Amino acid sequence: MRERARGRMCYSVPLIIFMDDVSGNISKQWNKHFVAYMSNGNLPREMIEKEFCVRFVTSSPHASPMELMQAIRDSISAAAESGVDAWDCMNDEEVLLLVYALFFTGDNPMQAELCSQLGLQGNFFCRTCYVGGTRDFKSSLEGYASLFKEGRSRHPSETAEEISKQVRTSIQPGAQSEIENIRRSSGVRDTGLDEVISTIVEMGKKLRGKLTQPPLSESDIKNRLREELQDLLQQREVKDCINPLLGLPGVDIHKDTPTEILHTVLLGVVKYFWAQTVALIEKAKSLSLLQARMQSLTTHGLNLPSFAPEYICHYRGGLIGKHFKSIAQVMPFIIYDLVPSNVLDAWNVIGDLVMLLWHTEIDDREKYLVSCLSLCGLEYYALD
């Protein structure tokens, strides 16, 4: 590092990498593109969220997320090896930047794909640990209770070995069912090698079929499948073709994909609890009262860009994240006598959760107190 720096100051720059699928244009309703962006993890929160601090990296309607990640990994590795020359405008001198991947963000399905994990489709559905089991086990009292406890942690080397095992199995007889069993039991699936594995499995079925003339021995079939596999892998080793993030230095991809709270909380817990609560209120014919109470609230202490009760009640089945963020903060104050006590208790817990997850700019307890008092038409005075 000293040789590379040549007397210059060195600064570490952690990179936050984001990837998701988006609509590529406006002429079609849905023209799927995968996009990747990066942010400088050293920036303070009020800056890192600004658009000009988020840098576009790549986009493609054809390349898969794993193919794009391979290019991103190569770029990060090259920059980490050589360093990045930059100018420090504050100290008026040239410096050397040493970049590294901090964590990878995205929605839960994308993060599961980055971890080579099946997501909710698998028996072991967590990308971080091995919590879960068969359907029968999860339906039992013991199995259901185990879902609320941390399982054995996943490790990139184990995941890579599971993927290699699936590739090796693809040349065996009955490969398709065996691979499905492996995926269900481990929750591991590498989308980057899906096409390769499927091609080898289908080729094996044809070579072992009755129409093959003359019939081939099992050893000849496996040799031909190995040759085809090497061609598909472009004469590379299997370990060099699996998920590139599993071997990225300094990254444990199973731990470095933090939970994405928009879909997990607002568009998950809050959305579905809102739907059930509205169903109860509609059944009691109190929806107009709910809207009237929403309109009567003062929201000065809630840090909300806008609060549209009429829109929320009219389009109650088609709301988005910002609406649920508002709803979670005000519901306990407007449904206290419209729903059973256990439903009200749940909304109190949801309000606490949302406050702790999003209101982190100032002291959380003070912020929550200001919000509660504001809803009641009272003011908060901080005492020395």
Strands 9-23 and 93-105: parallel
384 pLDDT tier (thresholds 50, 70, 90): very low
Is residue 279 over pLDDT 90?
Answer: yes
Instruction: Find the angle CA(3)-CA(90)-CA(37) to the nearest 5 degrees.
Output: 75
Looking at every residue in the chain, the average pLDDT score rounds to 86
Count of beta carbons in the 10 Å neighbourhood of residue 33: 15
Is residue 47 over pLDDT 70?
Answer: yes
Structural tokens at position 215: 């019939």
pLDDT at 310: 86
Amino acid at residue number 259: T
What pLDDT, in 10s, does the model give residues 64-96?
Answer: 899 999 999 999 999 998 899 999 999 999 999
In angstroms, the Cα distances linking 56 to 17, 36, 53, 125 are 10, 7, 10, 31
> Tell me, what DSSP letter sits at residue 270?
I
pTM as predicted: 0.78
Instruction: Find the angle CA(101)-CA(104)-CA(108) to the nearest 5 degrees.
Output: 170
Q: What is the mean pLDDT of residues 157-180?
A: 92
Structural tokens at position 307: 């609060």
The DSSP bridge partners found for residue 60 are 34
Is residue 48 over pLDDT 50?
Answer: yes
HSE-CB at 338 with a 13 A cutoff on CA atoms is 24
What is the distance between the alpha carbons of residues 384 and 382, in angstroms, rounded to a whole number?
A: 7
Instruction: Sheet with 54-60: list strands edge to edge.
Output: 54-60, 32-40, 9-23, 93-105, 84-88
Handedness of CA 143, 246, 169, 63 (dihedral sign): positive
Count of beta carbons in the 10 Å neighbourhood of residue 131: 17
Structural tokens at position 22: 């988006």
Is residue 365 over pLDDT 70?
Answer: no
Structural tokens at position 289: 């009262």
Is residue 273 over pLDDT 60?
Answer: yes
Each domain of the chain, given as residue ranges in start order, spans 2-105, 119-247, 261-375
pLDDT at 27: 61
Residues 265, 321 contacting (CB under 8 angstroms): no
What pLDDT, in 10s, does the model give residues 104-157?
Answer: 998 888 999 999 998 887 889 899 999 999 889 999 999 999 998 888 999 999
Q: Is the bond into 214 cis (omega within 30 degrees of 0)?
A: yes
Q: What is the mean pLDDT of residues 213-230?
A: 85
Is residue 209 over pLDDT 60?
Answer: yes
Handedness of CA 233, 235, 240, 244 (dihedral sign): negative
Count of beta carbons in the 10 Å neighbourhood of residue 301: 19
> Tell me, what DSSP letter sits at residue 215?
P
